Structure 1
């Protein structure tokens, strides 16, 4: 094998790579918050039973889940300007990731909501709670407790999917890695390092979500 390994380019570019990690986490965090809000909204709209809302939510979920994410990102960044909607690359990345994550979050949360026994809902109504209060206190928290592990896994996947937004010129870890590889031609070293950095960010988010689950969603010990 004639290839000579040289990780000095990685050491020299380490501050840029760490900055790329920060950008990836920033984009992902915004997209997660947006996706969670969209997921909750979709579940709430479906529970109204109002036909147009139900079909709107179902249509949104089906479109997002049955089209490739790169196509969604290209449509938002390159397609929307045709009708006068222009977004900066990083903003388009957050919107695309948020919409994508929201569709999957909606289905995950819906599964948790449907696991709540109807008797609990009826008990809440018998206590005089209105529809919003029943949804907030009787349905949502237990549903999130049930669905949180799947939701956390989906959001970690969303962070990993953020590497795709380099294709629309958004600045994050993958795009910085691509720039470094194109100038140094050290493909093995660069992409091995990116692999390690993404693994590290995934482990960090896994620990963070586990702490959130223990602190906010666990059953009381007394």
Structure 2
């Protein structure tokens, strides 16, 4: 039996897809921003030389990287209310994404920090720079330049991970597709369109990432 394609369902519900895409982008931006802060703090702990801080950072990274994201999401949304912390679906999704991205970015940033020669740090201190200035200008900025491609790759994965948050009824792009599919049963048209939208979002991220690299990390290629 042949299948009759009908993409008019997409045009008739375009607003639903746009709203879902905007939620996906909002979740991604907030989670990545907080996750990157977590990653930088985690990397500082990993490279601090303090055994306790290093152990805490390692425990966090291992716990997150070795458990499924879906389980982490369910734990935050369904488990934390038993401890008195009740979150909305979108809040739980944002927190889960940030915690997950933070664990992976911790190791990425740590690798970047460790790529900076200790002699550069010692030279900065010898010239009278404060420790925070040395970390910001001599360590962190070149480190981010070194690991920028890996970090962008992880950002893209974090955006794609948002498709899982529909499981707790966070109204992202995938949730919009599931909702429409349950009403119309036009699975091919709906999920084909969703795949194209995710592809467009990823291309947008890559374009922005390239622009940022050209503006802020162009110097890195001369150091390699």
TM category, shorter:
over 0.9
Aligned-pair distance for 1:164? 0.1
Structure 1 residue 77 corresponds to structure 2 residue 77: yes
Partner in structure 1 of residue 11 of structure 2: 11
Aligned-pair distance for 1:202? 0.4
Correspondence list, 1:84-95, <5 A: 84-95=84-95
- Of residues 121-130 and 186-195 in structure 1, the stretch that sits farther from structure 2 once superposed is 121-130
1:140-180, Cα deviation, whole Å (9 max, x unpaired) = 00000011111011011100110000001111100000000
Partner in structure 2 of residue 25 of structure 1: 25
**Deviating 4+ runs (over 4 angstroms):** none
Structure 1 residue 199 corresponds to structure 2 residue 199: yes
Q: Show structure 1 runs of 5+ residues with no match.
A: none
Secondary structure in 2 aligned to 1:39?
helix
TM-score (norm 2): 0.96
1:173-219, Cα deviation, whole Å (9 max, x unpaired) = 00000000000000000010011000000000110111111112221
Secondary structure in 2 aligned to 1:119?
helix
Q: Show structure 2 runs of 5+ residues with no match.
A: none
Tell me, yes or no, if the aligned pair for 2:90 and 2:170 is still in contact at 8 Å: yes
Aligned-pair distance for 1:119? 1.4
Tell me, yes or no, if the aligned pair for 2:46 and 2:54 is still in contact at 8 Å: yes
Partner in structure 2 of residue 133 of structure 1: 133
TM-score (norm 1): 0.96
Aligned-pair distance for 1:220? 8.8
C-alpha RMSD of the superposition: 1.5
Partner in structure 2 of residue 124 of structure 1: 124
Distance 2:220 2:87 in 1: 45
Secondary structure in 1 aligned to 2:64?
helix
1:72-105, Cα deviation, whole Å (9 max, x unpaired) = 0000000001111111100000000000000111
Distance 1:149 1:46 in 2: 21
Distance 2:208 2:171 in 1: 24
Aligned-pair distance for 1:19? 1.4
Secondary structure in 1 aligned to 2:93?
helix
1:122-142, Cα deviation, whole Å (9 max, x unpaired) = 111211223222211110000
Distance 2:46 2:2 in 1: 61
Partner in structure 2 of residue 212 of structure 1: 212
Structure 1 residue 51 corresponds to structure 2 residue 43: no
Distance 1:213 1:35 in 2: 20
